[in-house]
Structure 1
Amino acid sequence: MSGAALLALSACVVAPAPDLSPRPEPRAEAPAPSAESQAFARYYRSVEARLVSDGLLRTDGGQTDAPFSAATLAANFERIALYDEYTLSGGRFVQQQTPSRLRRWEQPVRIEAHFGRSVDAAQQAEDRSVLSTYASRLARVTGHPISTVTSGGNFHVLYLDRDDQRSVGELVRRLVPGVGPETIAEIEALPRSTFCSVYAFSESGSRPVYVAAIAIIRDEHPSLLRRSCVHEEVAQGLGLPNDSPAARPSIFNDDEEFALLTPHDELLLRILYDRRLSPGLQPAQARPLVRTIAEELLGGPS
């Protein structure tokens, strides 16, 4: 993935259900950011400015210039929901498009924010507000219970700078007991080219139903990239793990044209949580149902 790309890394890792009992998170006085973290911040500011000047990171939703048909919507759903972008190989997550199964949450999604030492009180308040507004939107779109909580979460959004990222493993193990060492290593070593990421977890031996997720949002990001990462990673962690170069207007496309969840993406989420679909469906099994639902959403075949 190029340095200017928003990498939406979504890995379904088998792990035991998390222990969700609340525990206090001690906060120490924030140290000065390292030279590397400061360099990351400068880099991401320049990337955001360049993308915006190039007409990318749009926030308008694309309704006026990016029409799509029911057939296109169904095809985009299949590629985004029923294929994986990454696979675990040799203890590492490697980019490889592979057919998968439909995955989503069955229990209520409780989104909890966690902040590294670099995130000041004003920024924390803004981040919580963005998450709360977005959770309400996702709940309305999917018809699934999705909300923000201050403790006892099962979808954890971690706002970290480079310095806290290197030692976040202990927190991740506490939030998701049984998480594999490869996931810890991946999170702690995310390179600068990985703008943000999400990892969703299912219980061992069960249907492909998510029970926990962790999203990583870099604190070095300026405002628009920060919100863009939240929109993409939280939505992907609900069961849309892949990207497609054909998807437009969509945040599930590595071209960075759109920064925030679009009306097209809302329809993908509506399809994902339609009760006619069930976790475990493979692409060929889901295809006729998805096409029917897409046609209903868009008012008929097209």
Structure 2
Amino acid sequence: MVRVKRVHLMMAGAAMLALSGCMGAPAPTSAPPAPVVALAPPPPTPKSVAATAYYAQIQQVLLREGMLRTDPGSDIPIRAERLTENFLKIALFQEFSRGRGGITREETASPLTRWRDPVRVAVRFGPSVPAEKQATDRARIASYLARLSQVTGHPIGLTDVAPNFWVYIVSEDEREALGPELASLRIGIAPDVIQAVTRMSPTTYCNVFAISGAESHLHRHAVAVIRAENPDLLRLSCFHEEIAQGLGLPNDSPRARPSIFNDDEEFALLTDQDELMLRILYSPELRPGMTAAEARPIVESLARRLVGGES
């Protein structure tokens, strides 16, 4: 089986300033606005052509093996005990750690962290992405954000006004050159995180990192990077997992099923259990900064209420 990895990073930083959207100056009142001319995308580079073929093959292999399911996993029983353990593993641990040697794959405990401010998502496309694909991607992301807002009870939506969560959809060459753009956001992105984006392994087809205050355990900003070469279903699966992870579910677990928070790629889209974990994450009964031990009795109670049983 061909397997690929998604990367999810969380980093703490100093308190962040609110950002305004990148909007052009208004047209002079003395003249009508100039018509917007849609520019044709540049021809794909050999590197991008090779990546397109590679990720298309990955999707074909996964589909042939019965992976990338698009159903919610309703055929798989969700028990309160397993939901509790899956939530604690996914919400209160991280896949990666940051040290002097940079970012390394090492599971570490992490206090519960989520958003307090409304999540304002802006989508940024590289010039290589055709206009019709941009329209499809934006529509899919907007619909998904509305679903996430309903599930969590937290305001989440697509906007270019003062965004605090950016989704970049870029080609190989555009991603490798994304460093200055990420630095220009001025949200405290560390050099090793920028390097993780610009030097992304071919086995990683999307990633996300969230930035929170050093002591608040509240996400302030997040950035997801999606390969434009991903075929349709892999692309959509990246939208589902990276945005959901950026809300405060940073880890994966091989025992989480049905779930997109599992590197086995069985499910492509948010499942029934994933929705339950998001409901738990944004429950007012939990508070940011809780450890797994502090959160466990509350999560157990929430899980029993959500699935209607002890086990």
Larger Rg: 2
Match of 2:197? 187
Match of 1:80? 90
Number of residue-to-residue matches in the alignment: 298
Partners of 2:18 and 2:126 in 1: CA distance: 21
Partners of 1:176 and 1:32 in 2: CA distance: 31
Deviates most, 80-89 or 4-13: 4-13
Correspondence 1:46-61 to 2 at 5 A: 46-61=57-72
Match of 1:295? 304
Q: Report if the CA contact (8 A) 1:10-1:199 is conserved.
A: yes
Cα 1:86–1:28 shift into 2, 3 Å: farther
What is the RMSD of the two structures over their aligned residues, measured on CA atoms?
A: 1.7
Partners of 1:35 and 1:177 in 2: CA distance: 33
Partners of 1:85 and 1:3 in 2: CA distance: 21
Unaligned segments of structure 2, at least 5 residues: 25-37
Match of 1:45? 56
Q: Report if the CA contact (8 A) 2:9-2:95 is conserved.
A: yes
Unaligned segments of structure 1, at least 5 residues: none
Cα drift, residue 57 of structure 1:
0.1
The yes-or-no answer on 1:169 pairing with 2:168 is: no
The yes-or-no answer on 1:243 pairing with 2:242 is: no
Cα drift, residue 157 of structure 1:
0.3
Partners of 1:176 and 1:261 in 2: CA distance: 31
Three-state SS of the structure 1 residue aligned to 2:124 is strand
Per-residue CA deviation, residues 190-229 of structure 1 (Å, 9 max, x unaligned), is: 111111100000123x311000000011000000000000
Three-state SS of the structure 2 residue aligned to 1:213 is strand
Cα drift, residue 23 of structure 1:
1.9
Q: Report if the CA contact (8 A) 2:40-2:130 is conserved.
A: no
Pick aligned residue for 1:272 from 281, 296, 299: 281
Which letter maps to 2:155?
P
Per-residue CA deviation, residues 92-139 of structure 1 (Å, 9 max, x unaligned), is: 211111111000000000011001111111011011101100000000
Partners of 1:109 and 1:166 in 2: CA distance: 27
Correspondence 1:1-302 to 2 at 5 A: 4-24=3-23, 30-64=41-75, 66-204=76-214, 206-302=215-311
Partners of 2:194 and 2:39 in 1: CA distance: 23
Partners of 2:44 and 2:202 in 1: CA distance: 16
Partners of 1:123 and 1:30 in 2: CA distance: 11
Task: State the identity as a percent.
Answer: 43
Which letter maps to 2:91?
A
Deviates most, 10-19 or 165-174: 10-19
Three-state SS of the structure 2 residue aligned to 1:122 is helix
Which letter maps to 1:95?
R
Three-state SS of the structure 1 residue aligned to 2:96 is strand
Per-residue CA deviation, residues 153-203 of structure 1 (Å, 9 max, x unaligned), is: 101000011000111111111224332111111111111111110000012
